[in-house]
Amino acid sequence: MRGTKVATRALRFNASRKFATVTRPQGPSGLKINAERLWETLHETCKWGEAHRYGDDPKETGMARLTLNDDDARIRRWFANEVQNLGCSLSVDQMGNMFARRSGRLRSPAPMTAMGSHLDTQPRGGRYDGILGVVGAIEVLRTMKENNFETYYDVGVVNWTNEEGARFPKSMCSSGVWAGIIPIQDAWDLRDIHDQSVTLRSELERHGYLGDIACSSDPKSGYPLGAHFELHIEQGPILQETGRSIGIVQGAQGYRWLTLTVKGKDAHTGTTPLSARQDPLLAASRMIAASNDIAKRHNALASTGIIKVPSNASTNTVASEVTFTIDIRHPQDSTVHAVQKECLEAFSTIASQDGKGVSFEWTLDTDSPAVQFDRNCIASIQAAAESLVGPEKSMLMTSGAGHDSVNTSRHCPSAMIFVPCRDGVSHHPTEYCTPEDW
């Protein structure tokens, strides 16, 4: 299948990254990417958005390239220029997703086989999450071009807008619109978390990335894909701990994000007995602790990343209201649902426990069911991995995080390739992939 060829190419590049003299087996294409060029290009483009220096080497910074900020606009212009120089056509859809397409020998109108990921980062993110997938894919195209290598069908690269959901709070946002999971108006209306006057759509317009093509996999109005392969750092410690260099990703665990609002009543902390209080911060604390206990019982994950109290809170006043988030994850949807149900039951009990009790409301912000990637795509990656690094250096795994491939897998055969990252650290400035490991 077409996907096999591109998966092989993508693997070629991460398996052949060792700069020095190590000879790796050749993939079926016989092509080998230029590892040093990839390394240099990746770090060169990180000048747009670099932040949070942690060492003396110029590359020892993190990134803060938030979706559609000025640096994201700069890397987008670089991407556009780069792929056009490589002979690709470029299409931009109504969410600013960028599709670069390289014609195959058959000049077939069939949807292209894509390598895709994202160029946006977390506010305290690293230099590899998403970036490696897009810049690595460009290196694959460069290698094809300089070797006059032709595929039968079209291949290409996708830069998905707002994968991180950090500035405009919805993760895997534009692949979600493309997959028909998120209505485009909801995505356009997302507001900058620090500036409510700015929307995702207004930023698309400001930078000229509100394209004409529908953000959809529909062949008539949108931009369908034949297959989607995504190279990504693992963002966990398993590959490093087991001494493997390639993870063949079979699917992704399911997750749900909830926002809880706990309401009580402001009261003087010196004059109000504990029994007379409605203390939302105390209740929220117990709820967060309870969610952790429940997740442990199910061997699942539950995490609170945001907790907000009113900005005019004070030391000697019981807060009036608290908002916090919960992120529940497990490879099986039924367990995610069970953890959510038990959490909400526990929260009801907790709400009535202290003083005069509190009330709470909740919303489901994101529901991302567990995903199984395409069997043939997985098999093609596995075959390539085994021929390149051997079975002892590769392994099957499940992604702990959501990725754009989770969304694309609803409409085209998809799978992912993981590479190790140091100590499993990601979403942090010190995120690092050592090329010597590959």
Backbone angles phi, psi at 147, to 5 degrees: -100, 10
- Cβ-based nearer residue to Zn ion, 104 or 247: 247
Helices vs. strands in the chain: H and E counts, helices first: 12, 20
Site string for Zn ion, 71-110 (x = CB under 5 A): ----------------------------------------
Instruction: Please report how close the Cβ of residue 357 comes to Zn ion at its closest, in angstroms.
Output: 41
Query: Which residue of 71, 82, 93, 129 would you call a contact of Zn ion, by CB under 5 A?
Result: 129
Instruction: Please report how close the Cβ of residue 15 comes to Zn ion at its closest, in angstroms.
Output: 20
Our finding on whether 49 is near Zn ion (CB under 5 A) is no
- Cβ-based nearer residue to Zn ion, 171 or 291: 171
How would DSSP label each residue in 258-314? EEEEEE---EETTTS-GGG---HHHHHHHHHHHHHHHHHHTT-EEE---EE--TT--
SS3 13: helix
Tokens of 368: 């991302």
The residue at minimum Cβ distance from Zn ion is 130
- Cβ-based nearer residue to Zn ion, 69 or 272: 69
Instruction: Please report how close the Cβ of residue 427 comes to Zn ion at its closest, in angstroms.
Output: 9
Our finding on whether 130 is near Zn ion (CB under 5 A) is yes
Our finding on whether 234 is near Zn ion (CB under 5 A) is no
Span near Zn ion by CB under 5 A; candidates 126-134, 254-262, 271-279, 295-303: 126-134
Distance CA 81, CA 181 (A): 31
Instruction: Please report how close the Cβ of residue 163 comes to Zn ion at its closest, in angstroms.
Output: 6
How many binding residues for Zn ion (CB under 5 A)?
Answer: 2
Answer yes or no: are the C-beta atoms of 328 and 255 closer than 8 Å: yes
- Cβ-based nearer residue to Zn ion, 133 or 211: 133
- Cβ-based nearer residue to Zn ion, 233 or 358: 233
- Cβ-based nearer residue to Zn ion, 342 or 404: 404
Instruction: Please report how close the Cβ of residue 38 comes to Zn ion at its closest, in angstroms.
Output: 17
Instruction: Please report how close the Cβ of residue 164 comes to Zn ion at its closest, in angstroms.
Output: 7
Beta bridge partners of 226: none
Distance CA 329, CA 316 (A): 37
- Cβ-based nearer residue to Zn ion, 129 or 342: 129
- Within 10 angstroms of residue 191's Cβ, the number of other Cβ atoms is 15
Instruction: Please report how close the Cβ of residue 232 comes to Zn ion at its closest, in angstroms.
Output: 6
Distance CA 165, CA 170 (A): 4
Q: How far is CA 268 from CA 313, 319, 371, in A?
A: 12, 10, 50
Element (H, E) at 92: strand 89-92
The position carrying tokens 């602790």 is: 289
Span near Zn ion by CB under 5 A; candidates 106-114, 124-132, 266-274, 316-324: 124-132
Q: Which residues bind to Zn ion, rule: CB under 5 A?
A: 129-130
